Amino acid sequence: MTEKQKLAHWNDFVKQVLDSTDIDENEPETERLKRVARLESEPEEWFKYYFPRFSYAPAADFHKEATRRVLENEEWMEVRIWSRELAKSTRTMMEVLYIVLVGHIDKTTQEPQVKRGKSGQQITIRHRKRYVLLISNSLDNAVRLLMPYKANLEYNHRIIQDYGLQQSVGNWEMAEFTTLGGVAFRAIGAGQSPRGARNEEVRPDIILFDDLDTDAECLNPELIAKKWRWIEEAAIGTRSISQPTTLIFCGNRIAADCCIERATRAADITDERNIRDENGVSVWPEKNTEVDIDRVMSQKSYASAQKEYFNNPLTEGAVFHKMAYKPALPLAEYKVLLCYTDPSYKANSDYKATVLVGYWQEEFHIIKCYLQKVGTAELIDWHWNIMNMVGGLSCYYYIEEVFIQDVIRRELSNAKGPGGKYIPILGDTRKKPDKYMRIESSLEPLHRNGKLYLNENERKNPNMELLDEQFQAFAPGSYAHDDGPDAVEGAIWLIREKLARSEKQGIYHFARQENGNRL
């Protein structure tokens, strides 16, 4: 970003602050004091009033819990591994400005210290912080992250009305400034020298680490180790031993070994939040609706979405490097056709997968694939589509059947389609071994030896694209979805079983028979 662009960005931000923080200049002083006292007693209301531009969506429960932890603990280290669009930097900024302008609750009592003034009124004494050090992967990025602090302290009408002018004279730069109340703010990039950082006698007592990791550095373990040594020795080393200090790390887990991951080992708490929870539901629906999330996910590859929104960095191609494609043959030329379904049981979080696999001259061709987060009705439609595609040829239909999945199998069996037909589906009740070992041991040798192909004619189909991406993301210890590869493994295992049985019995049949399961 050029200096001209930086200035334009700053001016736009200042205008937004000015426009969003109107005040009642004629408000009586007694009413103002009551209002301020009420707001200070309710941090969420304080955030809404002083930062309306950032508080347009109600806070989620995890936001409120995070704020409570930070305000109740003077000495604290927290790691916030929050997905993009969950406001980790913004939330942290509002908390920090609350602490430096209002104070926060004493840790020893978990309550504000209350004393009586000379006139008998209650006076709440809270601990305040006096030196905020913000660190990012570069100085430019650190300054960008510090900009909202400076803009609000300088131009927020509501802060100025209730807490007085904040801008000091002669010590008010973009990367470092000190308020009239004596609170210092400083931005530095990772690797810069923070030694000797102090505000009069006070060392940094709030140290913020935001967006520390970069993709390039995470490819080199030595660079990560070097940066982490700097964080431990130089950055955290600026704090005072005797002065309670707040340390907050904000970032995404973009690699298995990264600074945000290393910070979790020493943190008082690690708070990890993905854009959707374990049930596949938005963790902040007031801001991020399911429709909005689906829209963004559709614009990104599976691997990219997992890293940015689910804190699940993937090593692409760790097991299946560059899936092979070739056009599918006419269906009648396959010795065996088998349709296999992995139905999942969490409609919002797991993918349902249905694949049509053909066997030809020791090769396995994934002819058709459906891979989506859908309900049973759509799953039934997939099977009608494949049955129409197969026509009068012989094809086996199987569905994984464990736990509650037998209910789904029965729904498919009972579904009456066009012409009064039924889906001739059987349950695969095989007791399956470890999923990773099963998929890797069965499919990787086929892939490596040129025996496993995806249909070239379906390459641009979003379902086949996702299957390719799930193969690419498949790796030991990965949290990536693998419903597609799992369905392919199920189909190939059954085809091999049927081929072995046919050879043993001396039966060699091709797919030139009427539709239906045949043993």
Q: What is the β-pairing status of strands 396-400 and 336-342? A: parallel
CA-CA distance, 416 to 418, in Å (whole number)? Answer: 7
CA-CA distance, 197 to 239, in Å (whole number)? Answer: 9
Among 142, 279, 127, CA closest to 210: 142
Q: Which residues of 496-506 are buried (b: 16+ CB within 10 A; e: fewer)?
A: eebeeeeeeee
Q: Where are the alpha helices (DSSP H) in 449-482?
A: 462-473
Per-residue pLDDT of the chain (519 residues; tens, 9 = 90+): 688 888 888 898 899 999 999 999 999 999 999 999 999 999 999 999 999 999 889 999 999 999 999 999 999 999 999 999 999 999 999 999 999 999 866 545 555 554 443 334 444 445 689 999 999 999 999 999 999 999 999 999 999 999 999 999 888 999 999 999 899 999 999 999 887 666 667 899 999 999 999 988 887 888 999 999 999 999 999 999 999 999 999 999 988 889 999 999 999 999 999 999 988 999 999 999 999 998 998 877 777 888 889 998 876 666 787 899 999 999 999 999 999 999 876 655 678 999 999 999 999 999 999 999 888 889 899 999 999 999 989 999 999 886 655 677 788 878 777 777 888 889 898 888 788 888 888 898 899 889 999 999 999 999 999 999 898 888 776 777 889 999 999 999 999 999 988 876 665 544 444 444 433
Q: Which residues of 401-420 are buried (b: 16+ CB within 10 A; e: fewer)?
A: beeebeebbebbeebeeeee
Which two structure tokens, joined as six digits, stand for 361?
A: 């001259």
Q: At 507, give phi and psi (nearest 5°).
A: -110, 130
Q: Which residues of 427-460 are buried (b: 16+ CB within 10 A; e: fewer)?
A: bbeeeeeeeeebbbebbbebbeeebbbbbeebee
CA-CA distance, 308 to 297, in Å (whole number)? Answer: 10
Per-residue pLDDT, 115? 42
Which two structure tokens, joined as six digits, stand for 110?
A: 């978990």
What domains are there in the chain, each with its CATH number?
3-273 (3.40.50), 276-313 (no CATH), 325-505 (3.30.420.240)
Rg, Å, the chain Cα set: 30
Query: What single-letter amino acid sits at 101?
Result: L
323 Rama class: left (phi>0) / alpha (psi -120 to 50) / beta: beta
Measured N-to-C along each axis, helices 43-50 and 61-72 cross at an angle, to the nearest 10 degrees, of: 110
Is 354:386 a contact under the CB 8 Å cutoff? yes
Residue 290, Cβ neighbours under 10 Å: how many?
13
Per-residue pLDDT, 517? 47
Tell me how far the alpha carbon of residue 481 is from its chain's centroid. Answer: 14
Which two structure tokens, joined as six digits, stand for 37?
A: 């006292």
Interior angle at CA 440, CA 435 and CA 442, nearest 5: 95
Which two structure tokens, joined as six digits, stand for 141?
A: 């990025």
| pTM (2 d.p.) | 0.69
Interior angle at CA 125, CA 120 and CA 131, nearest 5: 155
Per-residue pLDDT, 491? 96
Residue 246, Cβ neighbours under 10 Å: how many?
24
CA-CA distance, 137 to 123, in Å (whole number)? Answer: 42
Interior angle at CA 331, CA 328 and CA 334, nearest 5: 90
